[in-house]
Amino acid sequence: MHVLYVAQTFHPVIGGAERYIDELATAMAARGHEIHVLAPHIRGRREGGRGPVGRRYRVHRISFMEGWKIGPLYHARALPLGLRVLDLARRLGADIVHLQYPNPLALSSRLIRSGGGRVVTTVHGSEVHFLADDRLGRLTFRVMDRDLDAVIAVSDYTRDRLVENGVRPGRIHVVYNGTDPGRFRPAAEKRWERIFTACRMVPRKDIPTLLRAMAIVRETAEADLVIAGDGPERTRFERMAHDLGLGGCVRFLGVLDENELIRHHAEAGLFVLPAVYDPVGGDVEGFGIAFLEAMASRTPVIGGDVGGVPSAVRPGWGMLYRPGDHRDLAGKMLRVLLDRDLAREMGARGRAAVLDTYNWDRVAERIESLYREILEAAGHSMVYVNGVPRAGDPYATNWVRLPV
């Protein structure tokens, strides 16, 4: 198949949605498909060509507003941006155009489909709340239900919110996120007293609750906390750690390169990703790929019971705490920190879950199967070349396997 992924945010920006496109494109390319990514220019840089180092797909850069947003000016970009996507999809012979976010391009899905390709979108979580609070955003739900060939939700929470906003359940396919258990692996020796978190410093990443919980934990356990990431709230969080008397046991590392991130996940005895629903921004944790990276590293995980987190953090390898309740969080942290056998068991079960379910090979397998179903339903034959399915004559109706 020829697949074009359309990313409103992409490398070198770092975040779950950016990793989603990169990892999915990489896994699909490894399965023998021709993969392209359309992404915005990075300010001051005009690079295109190959993806991030070591990736087997091509990146095309154009000028358009980054990220998913709402409002008339942003939705107005749907038509001109849709024309750009249509032009590239035609030139590439794209069988599938897969949108990183539904807005604004879902509004141009009929236009994009006029080029012969099928249109799919992934919905991560927060965008559902933004769209539901915006008039044109609510139109996007109707378009998703009517015009898109499939809607992929990364969590059960996201699926339920889509259904609440009028997208029929039969149009939605829940495909959980993944990670790479070959890159994220356990260290030979764990630092069981080390608590690690990695996140953007934004309101929905509830670092204040984690810091208050850490103050309670320190009354009982000699634990330390390492926080990776950056963002607009970092200075406030650092000041709060100092005010709580945690300066000697809490470190803020800023943004880590991949090797350092892997090392900290591998060494940690516990991973905590605090999260709450941000009512001001409508922001919520859609899934939490960082949980999977910790699980692959055989590290127990604790997360806030909000948004899509319960789709990743399940009994056996993880614990959920009441969002904003630092005493509940502290109690669960101490359960893991003070029971080494429990921590080991949770870590082993978490890695097993990644190897079985939460990995990009499994994600790509499920999405590839969905692509095939879409193309078959649209009347495309599937031609197999060296065992890899390629969409054939758009007017043919039979699946064909050619000799290799």
Paired strand residues for 303: 273, 320
What's the predicted TM-score (pTM) here? Answer: 0.87
Question: What local confidence, expressed as pLDDT, does residue 401 receive?
Answer: 31
Q: Which domain holds residue 89?
A: 2-178+359-393
Question: What local confidence, expressed as pLDDT, does residue 48 receive?
Answer: 45
Are the beta carbons of 59 and 48 closer than 8 angstroms? Answer: yes
Nearest Cα to Cα of residue 299 among 290, 286, 308, 309? 290
187: part of which helix (H) or strand (E)? none
* Same domain, yes or no: 239 and 163: no
* Same domain, yes or no: 308 and 384: no
* Same domain, yes or no: 154 and 11: yes
The reply to whether 6 falls in a domain is yes
CATH code assigned at 350: 3.40.50.2000
Question: What local confidence, expressed as pLDDT, does residue 49 receive?
Answer: 46
The reply to whether 186 falls in a domain is no
129: part of which helix (H) or strand (E)? helix 126-132
* Same domain, yes or no: 243 and 350: yes
The reply to whether 400 falls in a domain is no
Question: What local confidence, expressed as pLDDT, does residue 65 receive?
Answer: 55
Tokens linked to 184: 């994220």
Question: What local confidence, expressed as pLDDT, does residue 76 receive?
Answer: 73
The reply to whether 61 falls in a domain is yes
| Gyration radius of the chain over CA positions | 22
* Same domain, yes or no: 24 and 160: yes
CA dihedral sign of residues 233, 234, 237, 238: negative
> How many structural domains comprise the chain?
2
* Same domain, yes or no: 150 and 9: yes
One digit per residue, pLDDT tens: the chain, 404 residues? 999 999 987 876 666 778 899 999 999 999 999 999 998 876 644 444 444 555 789 999 887 655 555 566 666 778 888 999 999 999 999 999 999 989 888 889 999 999 999 999 999 988 888 888 888 788 999 999 999 999 999 999 999 999 999 999 999 999 999 999 999 999 999 999 999 999 988 877 899 999 999 999 999 999 999 999 999 999 999 999 999 999 999 999 999 999 999 999 999 999 999 987 766 566 778 899 999 999 999 999 999 999 999 999 999 999 999 999 999 999 999 999 999 999 999 999 999 999 999 999 999 999 999 999 999 998 865 555 455 555 553 333 233 332 32
* Same domain, yes or no: 246 and 314: yes
Question: What local confidence, expressed as pLDDT, does residue 70 receive?
Answer: 58
* Same domain, yes or no: 18 and 161: yes
* Same domain, yes or no: 89 and 218: no
* Same domain, yes or no: 221 and 202: yes
370: part of which helix (H) or strand (E)? helix 360-377
Question: What local confidence, expressed as pLDDT, does residue 46 receive?
Answer: 45
* Same domain, yes or no: 239 and 153: no
The reply to whether 274 falls in a domain is yes
* Same domain, yes or no: 171 and 196: no
Rounded Cα–Cα distance for residues 122 and 159 (Å): 11
The reply to whether 402 falls in a domain is no
